[in-house]
Amino acid sequence: MWTIQNSNEVRVVFLLIVLVLILERTSNTFRRKVTTKKTKKVFQKELFYTLLVLYLITVMVSGISFLRNQTVSILISALGVVSYSLAVFLRRTAIRTLNDYWSVFVEVKEGQRYVKEGIYRYLKHPYYIAVILELFGFSLLCNSGWGVVLTFGAQLPLLLIRSHYENRILKVYGKRMGFHQ
């Protein structure tokens, strides 16, 4: 009742949706914006690249799972769309709130301050939460159990390590630069 046959037509629609999601994600995350803030110090670039590779592996595993599935649960896919949509909203809000201080890397920029307004008034790391919701949503969209396992078994622990590291950087550099948590 809540499943459909995963036909070639369904797969084509799925691939078009994935293409749109990839374009939205890359343009929102990696587009260069003009900033007046110069980077003073970048930390743990390797962790970013590890997270990026793991993100791509999770997306590929989920996509392959979808293409191999004989049937697809519409209800699970719909929950995936809701989770993914919430992630996009949260990610865009976090980036917009941080503005010039946002970066894919853990870094300290000229004039850095501790942000406590907008979404950061309620959540300490909304961008990281968005990444988990995004991968979880995409895995559900694809009906991929392996994608869910990779999201919570690998990506989440690494993001927790990164957030812990970022909190330490904020504490150390915050004292030096005069802002407080």
**Which CATH number covers residue 167?**
1.20.120.1630
Question: Taking Cα atoms as reference points, which of 176, 171, 39, 173 lies closest to residue 104?
Answer: 39
Q: What is the mean pLDDT of residues 99-114?
A: 80
Q: What is the mean pLDDT of residues 37-46?
A: 77
Is the confidence at residue 140, as pLDDT, over 80?
A: yes
Q: Which ranges of the chain would DSSP assign to H, the alpha helix?
A: 8-30, 45-68, 74-98, 126-141, 145-150, 156-177
- What is the pTM assigned to this prediction? 0.86
Within 10 angstroms of residue 67's Cβ, the number of other Cβ atoms is: 12
Is the Cα torsion angle 152, 55, 100, 96 positive or negative in sign? Answer: negative
Establish how many alpha carbons lie within 13 A of residue 78's alpha carbon, considering only the half-sphere containing its beta carbon.
6
Using pLDDT thresholds of 50, 70 and 90, give the confidence band for residue 38: confident
Would you say residue 51 lies in a domain? yes
* Out of 98-102, 121-125, 143-147, 156-160, least confident range: 98-102
Cα three-residue angle 2-88-29, rounded to 5 degrees: 135
Would you say residue 50 lies in a domain? yes
pLDDT at res. 107: 82
Using pLDDT thresholds of 50, 70 and 90, give the confidence band for residue 84: very high
Residue 74: domain span: 39-177
Lookup: tokens for 1? 């009742």
Number of domains in the chain: 1
Would you say residue 33 lies in a domain? no
Q: What is the mean pLDDT of residues 109-132?
A: 88
